[in-house]
Amino acid sequence: MENLDAPATNPIAPPPPYWNNVLKFGLYGGAALIAFSLIAYVSDMNMTSIMAGILAFLITLGIAIGTGVMAIQAQRTLEGGYMAFGRAFVIGALAIAVAVFLYNIWNFVLITVIDPDYITRLKEQFVEQWGENMPEESMNEVLKSFDEAGSIGTTLKNGLIGVVLNGLIGGLIAGAIGKKNQPVQF
């Protein structure tokens, strides 16, 4: 019989910290989101059209989920190949949140420093695309939101909403993909 006061010979080790993988893959995901944004900007993609919106949504969702899954898989490797859904969700959501945060910083720099006329061009594209199909009141509200897009307050609010929503939704999907439970032993 072993002495209860003696140190444990085989203590359960805590899992390794995950911040290195969260930050590393969040940086990769942020770079991928920024690269997509640059491609859309340089190619002068009409972001006010339905098809461009759907395409942008699917690409950014794919990048977000990929970011989360890669962070989870890298961490899972450090943890012996297994990870519960809850931990996978947290790691995926945090990596995605870092990526979206970096993307929001880029977006603010793009519309305030690099190309202050970008919002004006988007407004013109929107009016061209939807002007005849929208009631005047709705059009005025949308155009007002375009004018507010370059302010730091709107950028922070939209960035926070984007970080939370993308982190949660992408984290749930990435966690479901990346988790791997230990086999049950009887």
The pTM for the full model equals 0.81
Domain contains 72: yes
Residues sharing a CB contact under 8 Å with residue 127, sequence separation 6 or more, in sequence order? 139, 143
When pLDDT is cut at 50, 70 and 90, the band that residue 73 belongs to is very high
Q: Is 18 helix (H, G, I), strand (E, B) or coil?
A: coil
pLDDT reported for residue 183: 76
Cα–Cα distance measured from residue 128 to residue 24, given in angstroms and rounded to the nearest whole number = 41
Q: What is the mean pLDDT of residues 60-64?
A: 92
pLDDT tens-digit map of 80-120: 888 888 889 999 999 999 999 999 889 889 888 898 888 88
Domain contains 81: yes
- Whether 25 shows a pLDDT value over 60: the answer reads yes
Full domain range(s) for residue 156: 19-178
When pLDDT is cut at 50, 70 and 90, the band that residue 30 belongs to is very high
Q: Is 60 helix (H, G, I), strand (E, B) or coil?
A: helix
Closest CA to 180 of 21, 62, 73, 22: 73
Closest CA to 167 of 103, 114, 105, 92: 92
Domain contains 184: no
pLDDT reported for residue 160: 80
Domain contains 8: no
Choose from 71-75, 108-112, 121-125 the range with maximum mean pLDDT: 71-75
Q: How many domains does the chain have?
A: 1
Domain contains 36: yes
Cα–Cα distance measured from residue 107 to residue 37, given in angstroms and rounded to the nearest whole number = 8
Which residue would you say has higher pLDDT here, 114 or 140?
Answer: 114
Domain contains 14: no
Cα–Cα distance measured from residue 100 to residue 124, given in angstroms and rounded to the nearest whole number = 27
When pLDDT is cut at 50, 70 and 90, the band that residue 180 belongs to is confident
